[in-house]
Structure 1
Amino acid sequence: MDVPTRTIDLLARQKTQSSLDAFVSLLSNPFAQSIEKNAFWSALGTSIGGSALIACLFCFARPYNSVVYAPRSRHADVKHAPPPVGKGVLDWVSPVIKTKEQELVEKVGLDATIFLRFANMCRNIFTCITIVGLAILVPINLYEHRSSNASTDAKNFFIQLTSQGVQGRYLWGYVLLAWLANLCIAFFLWRNYKSVARLRRAYFDSPDYQKSLHSRTLLVTEIPRGLRTDEGLVRIVTEAKDTGSNPRTAIARNVKDLPDLIEEHNETVRNLEQVLAKYLSNPIKLPAKRPTCSVNKSDQTYRKGQKVDAIEYLTARIRELELQIKEVRESIDKRNAMSYGFASYESIADAHTVAYKTRKKGPQKTSIRLAPRPHDIIWKNLPMTSKQRGWQTFINNIWVAVLTVVWIAPNALIAIFLSNLSNLALVWPAFATQLAKNPKTWSVVQGVAAPALTSLFYYFLPAIFRRLSNSAGDLSKTSRERHVMHKLYTFFVFNNLFLFSLFAAIWGYIAAVISRSHEEDAWSAIKEGQLLQKGIRALNSVSTYWITWLLQRNLGAAVDLSQFVNLAWGSFSRHFLNPTPREMIELSAPPKFDYAGYYNYFLFYSTVALCFAYVQPLVLPVAAFYFWVDSYLKKYLLLYVFITKTESGGQFWKVLFNRYIFLTILSDVLVGLVCVGNTTFGYTEWLPKVCTLAPLPIFMLAFKWWCAHHFDDKLTFYTTGLTAADTENPAELKTRRTDRVGVRFGHPVLYKPLITPMVSAKARHLLPSIYSGRTAEVDVPLAGYSDVYMDAMSHEEPGKVAKGEAAAPFEFVSENQMDFEFYKNRPEFRDEAGGEGELYGRPQDMVRRGSHGTLMTQDGTVVTDYDSRRGSSESSATRNGDEAGTTYPKGYHHAPSALRDQSPASSVRSMDIGNADRSHLLSGAAGMGSSGVPAPTPGGYGPLRLGEIHTPGSEQEDTSYDYFRRGRGLN
């Protein structure tokens, strides 16, 4: 019995050792055995067939679901509405093809237009390179393989198309293609650079830009402590460049913990909404047990981790936070000045001239730049110094490096096993049996699994890099997105291209050096390791994987068109997750377009295709086909589905241009390595080819410098001198003298309305029985006057106060109003899904003058002037239209009533009747009475309140709980 036992143990050890040897061998050459042919055809079939099927489903579903497939058509104003499209199956194709670039600028904005131009550029580049590349490389590669002694691997058609084995004079074909590709890329880059410059100049001259405040405002950061006043800001910008006009300035005030308070308030409101939505999901039968929650960590009233009644606690917590927010807002003007501020000129030319003069360094060690749109600013990063930003950038780079190193192991395993399932069979005998039984099935898995898993991982990377860029000190959201795109592209190229493709060669080289070092000295082992030759062979082996990956991206483009994720998530959440009314409204809002992610994919596709074109020319037509398909599909999505959340005015272009220069030089280096690696007769054979290729990187760098010298200033500045001032309208310059920079560029937490808990109207009658707080409906004004209120009247007993009918401090939303259409002008929804309000005809940054007694802030809130008896900080000169300093909204002073919201349908627009001589006509007017109670406006800020314009001399202030909240629009 002992002998068989020992034999079985010995076989087990041998089997284990064999698997280990196989694993080590695979690390050295993971693509030694492959099923590339079947994987390619399965990927091609999946891509073409799946894309066609999804496109057909989209064509039939589109006419019946405009919420998902045409939200822009539902919500945009006349100016920004896309071309009308019929209900036919293919009616969407015609407007996509016929809509020209100028119309795109008006409909979708400059950022989206430049994105489509970039997609078209990639399509044109790879169409041209495909024609030339296939004509040159395919005959050379096929002839070399078939004229040589064909090995077993060489009988594979895909191996015959690779550069493996191409030597001698035939490598001059690769050099010729490299030169033609560089010239082609340079031509299209120059042509598009010129077109982008033309679009930017038209953007500068557009009415929207001319009337916006940010276009003539400067952001000044790192201000010395002694100059942190409005007068100090004037001294700084005047010292930088005296334009002959005095700018209106606003030094920032320390908001301290106000952003955190408002963030906690919004989170608490959402938590309460979720609790009520779940608890009241079935109004007929409520759960027997009331919901509970843990107390907030910052709440010192309760024990840490104590469980309390969720509805009562969260409602009380909201009230407490709102009182704290009110107190902080009232005391802002007493707080210390910050190290940043804004200076606004009457003329756009003045502001751009100063910005151009100080583009490298500002006076007093300050940094002066053109101000972003107010909605674009990342306010928490403005106080950071350049040293702090440099240190945070260094820390971010360390985190990116750590993430890169951590991803090496799973990336290598995907490269070894998932991209070639035969390798997995060598170390997993049970799987080897299944692979032998069903080779075609597993070929399909191989063609789909590895690319899908790789794409899934990179789906989450933008959110990670976005957080890192926030902490690094980016001043605007658009600059943050550009940095995210840069980090994504760098990560993709290093991890997904370099390490993935060359891991086998690097491992094989290390293994060979270690093996030889036992027999000879280390330097000889390093020289004879043949790293370059192993690397070229690895690129030839992995080339088919990249073809299948690019083919799968065609399927991804079709999935984007179908909006499958949004459609599935919306349906799932509505039926299974008890969404709150707020979440239902957000689900119907147009989704934002992820420029950083899509640009990164386009750049990475271009890098893969251009680099592997010299290894496997079949990658060129695959890439060209993808760009042809996606250039039209993305055009439909940008016209009818997506919005640009924050418009940068086309500032992505320079980053894209630089990345394209880099990937072109990278491909030049690769073709040089192919020439060297495929040479067997020494440097005398490859040196002439490398010398011929050497001027290409120099040519591309010189081309980059030439384009930057000729176009960059035109892209960035309206003018570099004062010559453009004469072209501006003098009447427009006169109205700009009364702009209040402190209001328009004030921190949003100072005036942004606080959100109100939303509850479904079908559960309204249940609130008095589950909520023990105040239930009087005090928000409905009597006879149109905002300072007179009465309790809600009972429907059953006229003249009596309603019992059980009135509302708690909630906003009730009926089922037919849970749509973004009714709330697109509300700041809390518009900021997230409204494209800064421009899409709906309410641009936040537009200079829109009313009477002197009013001013609309960037979110549409009305701010009124102050009487001296209210502690106003305005001087008489300011009231006469010559503003010299900062004018803050009421939240900066001791008048909390200004924090209340105003209806967008109120008398703001009707007050735009004043002129310079009649600017005081309405400043002291009280609201007019009406015969009835104004109707609620679910898309606005609540009931229409004509009396909410401040009346000077009214010393009594309502300090009740609801006075500091916006109107609820109760029914």
Structure 2
Amino acid sequence: MDGPKSPVEELLELLKDPFRQPLTDGAIWSALGTSVGITAVTALIFSLVRPYNTVIYAPKLKHADEKHAPPPIGKGIFAWVMPLWRTTEKDLVAHADKVAQQKWSLRFTPANVWGQPLWALVVIGYLFNIVICSFLWWNYRQVLRLRRIYFESEEYQRSLSARTLMLNDIPKNMASDEGVARIIDSAVPQSSFSRTVIARNVKLIPSLIEQHDHTVRKLEKVLAKYLKDPLNLPPARPRCYPSKKDPSYSTYPKGQKIDAIDYLTQRIRELEIEIKEVRNSLDKRNTLSYGFASYDDISEAHAIAYTLRKKKPLGATVVLAPKPNDIIWDNMPLTPSTRSWRRLTINFWILLLTFLWIVPNAFIAIFVANLSNLGLVWKDFQTQLSTNTTFWTIVQGVASPAVTSLTYLILPIIFRRLSIRAGDRTKTGRDRHVVGKLYAFFVFNNLIVFSLFNTVWSFVVTVIKSTSGGTDVGNAILNSKFFDTLFISLCSVSAFWVTWLLQRNLGAAIDLAQLWPLIYSFFMRKFSSPTPREMIELTAPPTFDYPSYYNYFLFYSTVALCFGGLQPLVLPAAALYFSIDVWLKKYLLLYIFVTKNESGGVFWRVVYNRFVFGTILANLVIFLAVFQRGDGQHLQAFSTVPLPFIMIIFKIYCSRVFDAKIRFYSTQSINRNTDTSALKDPLRSSNLAARFGHPALYRNLITPMVHAKAQNILASIYKGRLSDGRTADSGDTLSTSGYSDAYAWF
């Protein structure tokens, strides 16, 4: 009789089969109870706190204009419920049937079913595809309808970007205002004349403006403390060390502090003079490889972009221009080779991170997903596990999905920062790439590796043992029963995904609570001296993180699709999460978050393509199930082969029917003869240059802000510029207030 195994032997056995120790009874119960209970308690606390913290829980009521303001919301405890109820949404599912313990839940899977009964799973596979295709098709039509409404809106019709084309990778010999026009004329000679502008090299201006903004903010902090009580100023003025970035740093006494207000005022004045001189000295002949061409008619601009979507006239690419505030200006001058090299480098680092994460993710799959496995290699913990069964049952249902979720909170930040360096020209384009990379990482590591690691490990161990005993590699692979082990593993791990989906409700409740902004705002206001600018930023509506949320929705949808055919309990768990989360996210979008860069619905294709991919993965899981448990002739498996191809054909169909109409306002060919005097109008060309030029050329330099109670004595303390920079002698003949995208040529 074999003796007890050592911890190393137990670890090797667990790597081979981590789910041989079933989840403790009640793990799913505890996940359901804690997720729903904590969500309810959080919602109640939110209802009590919300009326007294509208800065955190309804900033859009203060900052949104009349046109975009959300429905008014009262001060009552539950006053936030009725506005959500009345925003054209139907009542959502708020309760799900209680789910079973793990042993009972395993009976829902086809792990112990063979032969003819699995025809029902084949039917389920086709029903899944039919239902998914129907909803995707219906939503594609709705997106098209919303997109056309967006095109016809007054805001879009008056937008300059709506009638403007962006040309990239312009050859050096064509890098001029006239060259931009010739590039378009070479491909679409029948088009009307356009107002064109080529980009100019702004040199060090962005860096100087950044230094200027930093210095102004630093002075604001000094003034906020010094002028905290304007009627009783401190006897000593604030002092600071000179900045090492200051060119005149060596002229100041080394290691000694100087008057902070005088020094920062002087530094701001020097930077403003330097910025003005560099702006005035820019050589208009020092151009870059991108430019813009604007037309009087939106239909013409879109039709030209549609005609040139797959062409490169004279080596340049022609696309619809994004809104100016959506452009990543630092990436615009990058050459195609530089852009490709950056993209390759960033993809390499993401790929490396993806594979490096396999090892910690495997240990999470073995020990975090099932605490009983940890007890096998840690005898002291096994004693605790046996002694306090109820407590560790609760921990099993709560901790394991929570740890899995918390592990990935930092990933969106990492991926976004990597994508910034990849060379994307627009912020919305960068966000779409972040969604794609996050989804690929999550599906590979958090779904495929997490669910299949033990199968692969068991396969490798079995093949090694067989070959060591004299069996050839081919027979060892055939005798390993890889697909049968894979199928059983998926059935076993399905219970974990039920608990994970239930646990996600806690994340939705935490989003509603806005704990970090609430705590940060409280400490900033009570224990700090925030400047007026910081107070404005503190109370402004935060930006909605679309890439992260899109990825979460896509990932849990993929989990539900892949395991829905094996474990029916996954579907009500996903439905519960979705119904609650949609309800809570509606509040966030109505009253808290704003959209920083409006994409106009172009995220839809990213979401749609990944949903199709998730459905194809689900089709492969169903094929595996009926292949392993179906009749001996595999007729059921062969009947599921068309499913992935149905989704591919459906994707191609939707792309050809809807995409052009969604992307372009008009696709009709152009045949116009327009008066050429517009081309010679310098004022109109100047407006195009002001709105689609680099912000560093036209941006007004900020001035120090102080609290209203100290406004009267500011001029006696600060001797620098207090105007907004739009005076006639500012030196910026093309300066504009902000970067309005309105179509207003006079």
Asked whether the two chains share a fold, i.e. TM above 0.5, the reply is yes
Q: What's the secondary structure of 1:740's corresponding residue?
A: helix
TM-score between both structures, scaled by the size of structure 2 = 0.89
Alpha-carbon distance change, 359 to 723 in structure 1, aligned in 2, over 3 angstroms: closer
Q: Is the Cα–Cα contact under 8 Å of residues 295 and 305 in structure 1 kept in the other structure? A: no
| CA-atom RMSD in angstroms | 3.6
Equivalent residue, structure 1, for 2:338: 388
- The residue correspondences of 1:113-512 to structure 2 (distance < 5 A) are 156-274=103-221, 295-296=243-244, 299=247, 301-302=249-250, 309=257, 311=260, 314-334=264-284, 336-512=286-462
SS at the partner of 1:496?
helix
2:576 is matched with which residue?
Answer: 625
C-alpha separation in 1, matches of 2:62 and 2:244 = 40
Distance 2:663 2:369 in 1: 45
- Give the secondary-structure state (helix, strand or coil) at the position aligned to 1:403: helix
Measure how far apart 1:355 and its partner are.
Answer: 0.4
Corresponding residue for residue 558 of structure 2: 607
Query: Greater share of helix residues, 1 or 2?
Result: 2
User: Take 2:493 and 2:293, find their aligned partners in 1: how far apart are those partners?
Assistant: 56
1:696 paired with 2:649, answer no
Contact 2:483 2:628 in 1 (8 A): yes
**TM-score with structure 1 setting the length:** 0.69
Q: Secondary structure at the match of 1:458?
A: coil
Give the aligned residue type for 1:701.
Answer: I
Aligned residue for 1:52?
Answer: 40
Alignment of 1:722-801 (within 5 A): 740-759=687-706, 777=715
Structure 2 residue corresponding to 1:807, chosen from 693, 701, 718: 718
Higher relative contact order at CA 8 Å, sep ≥6: structure 1 or structure 2?
2
Distance 1:903-1:263 versus aligned 2 partners, 3 A rule: closer
- SS state of the match for residue 37, structure 1? coil
Q: Which moved more, 1:264-273 or 1:582-591?
A: 264-273
> Matches of 2:310 and 2:300 in 1, distance apart?
18
Aligned in 2, Cα 1:900/1:213: closer, same or farther, shift over 3 Å? Answer: closer
| SS of structure 1 residue aligned to 2:74 | coil
User: What per-residue deviation string (whole Å, max 9, x for no partner) do you get for residues 891-945 of structure 1?
Assistant: xxxx6255888699xxxx9xx9xxx9xx8xxxxxxxxxxxxxxxxxxxxxxxxxx
Residue deviations 1:658-677, cap 9 Å, x none? Answer: 11111111100111112223
Which amino acid is the alignment partner of residue 364 of structure 1? L
State the alpha-carbon separation in 1 of the partners of residues 88 and 256 from structure 2: 60
| Preserved contact between residue 509 and residue 531 of structure 1 (Cα < 8 Å) | yes
1:716-735 deviations in Å (ceiling 9; x for gaps): 11111158999xxxx9xx99
Q: Check conservation: 2:544, 2:593, Cα contact below 8 A.
A: yes
* 3-state secondary structure, aligned to 1:620: helix
Residues in 2 aligned to 1:543 and 1:350: alpha-carbon distance in whole angstroms:
54
How far is the alpha carbon of 1:199 from its aligned partner?
Answer: 1.1
Code of the aligned partner of 2:298: I
Aligned residues: percent identity? 49
Q: Deviations over 1:408-447 (max 9, x none)?
A: 2221221111221111122222222222222221222222
The answer to whether the 8 Å contact 1:279/1:287 transfers is no
Alpha carbons 2:226, 2:233 under 8 Å: kept? no
Aligned match of 1:98 in 56, 81, 86? Answer: 86
Render the CA deviation track for 1:15-40: whole Å, top value 9, x for unaligned: 9x711111222211222213343221
- Match of 1:321, as an amino acid? L
Report the AA paired with residue 22 of structure 2: S
1:97–1:736 Cα change, 3 Å: farther
Change (3 A) 1:262 1:641: same
Distance (Å, rounded) in 2 between the aligned partners of 1:421 and 1:281: 55
- Structure 1 residues 286 and 224, CA gap change in structure 2 (3 angstroms): same
Q: Is this contact kept in 2: 1:485–1:600, CA < 8 A?
A: yes
Q: Which amino acid aligns with 2:383?
A: T
The equivalent position to 1:638 in structure 2, one of 584, 589, 597, is 589
Amino acid of the structure 2 residue aligned with 1:309: K
For 1:619 and 1:306, locate their aligned partners in 2 and report how far apart those are by CA, in whole Å: 68
* Deviation digits for residues 528-574 of structure 1 (CA, Å, limit 9, x no counterpart): 22222222222222222211111111121122222222212212333
2: CA distance between counterparts of 1:314 and 1:286? 19
Number of the residue aligned with 2:53: 65
Cα offsets for 1:380-404 (capped at 9, x unmatched): 1111233322222111110111111
| Higher deviation after alignment, 219-228 or 464-473 | 464-473
Whole-angstrom distance in 1 between the partners of 2:738 and 2:497: 56
Q: Structure 1 residue 21 and structure 2 residue 9: aligned?
A: yes
1:666 partnered with 2:617: yes
Is the alpha carbon distance of 1:222 and 1:550 closer, same or farther for their aligned partners in structure 2, counting shifts above 3 Å? Answer: same
Give the 3 Å change call, closer, same or farther, for CA 364–703 of structure 1 in structure 2: same
1:311-354 C-alpha deviation (Å, 9 max, x unpaired): 36555444433332222111224450111100001111111111
Which segment is superposed worse, 576-585 or 65-74? 576-585
Inter-CA distance 758–455: structure 2 relative to 1 (3 Å threshold): farther
2:686 and 2:734 in contact (8 A); partners too: no
Letter in 2 for 1:557: A
Amino acid at match of 1:259: P
The one-character-per-residue Cα deviations of 1:169-213 (angstroms, maximum 9, x if unpaired) are 122111110100000000011111111111111111111111110
Q: Distance in 2 between matches of 1:286 and 1:738?
A: 53
In the other structure, the counterpart of 2:567 is 616
Contact kept? 2:700, 2:737, Cα under 8 Å: no
Q: Residues of 1 paired with 2:479 and 2:661: CA distance?
A: 54
Which residue among 464, 468, 471 is the counterpart of 1:518?
A: 468
1:646-725 alignment, distance < 5 Å = 646-678=597-629, 684-685=632-633, 687-721=634-668
DSSP 3-state at the match of 1:252: strand
Match of 1:896 among 731, 736, 744: 731
Kept after mapping to 1: 8 A contact 2:700/2:726: no
CA distance in 2, matches of 1:395, 1:478: 21
Q: Which has the larger radius of gyration?
A: 1
Once residues 185 and 735 of structure 2 are traced to their aligned partners in structure 1, the CA distance between those partners, rounded to angstroms, is 38
The CA distance in 2 between the partners of 1:576 and 1:232, in whole Å, is: 58
**2:265–2:718: 8 Å Cα contact kept in structure 1?**
no
SS at match of 1:31: helix
Residues 32 and 576 of structure 1: CA distance in aligned 2, closer, same or farther (over 3 Å): farther
Query: Who is 1:556 aligned against?
Result: 507
Does the CA contact (< 8 Å) of 2:690 and 2:735 recur in 1?
no
Partner of 1:720, secondary structure, is coil
- Matched AA of 1:418: V
Deviation at 1:678, TM superposition (A): 3.4
Which residue identity lines up with residue 497 of structure 1 in the other structure?
L
Judged with a 3 Å threshold, the aligned counterparts in structure 2 of structure 1 residues 295 and 308 are, in CA distance, closer, same or farther, namely farther
String of CA shifts for 1:273-313, please: whole Å, max 9, x gaps. Answer: 45665788799897999765584457574499975538365
2:533 corresponds, among 575, 578, 582, to 582
Looking at structure 2, the residues matched to 155 and 79 of structure 1 have their Cα atoms a distance apart, in angstroms, of 52
CA distance in structure 2 between the partners assigned to 1:584 and 1:272 by the alignment: 15
- 1:699 is paired with a residue whose SS is helix
Q: Gapped runs of 5+ residues in structure 2?
A: none
CA contact (8 A) 1:29 1:505 kept: yes
Residue 190 of structure 2 contacts residue 671 of structure 2 at CA under 8 Å; is this kept in 1? no
Asked if 1 retains the 8 angstrom alpha-carbon contact of 2:172 and 2:289, the reply is yes
Asked if structure 2 preserves the Cα contact closer than 8 Å seen for 1:764 and 1:807, the reply is no
Superposition deviation, residue 688 in structure 1? 1.1
Give the structure 2 partner of residue 145 of structure 1.
none
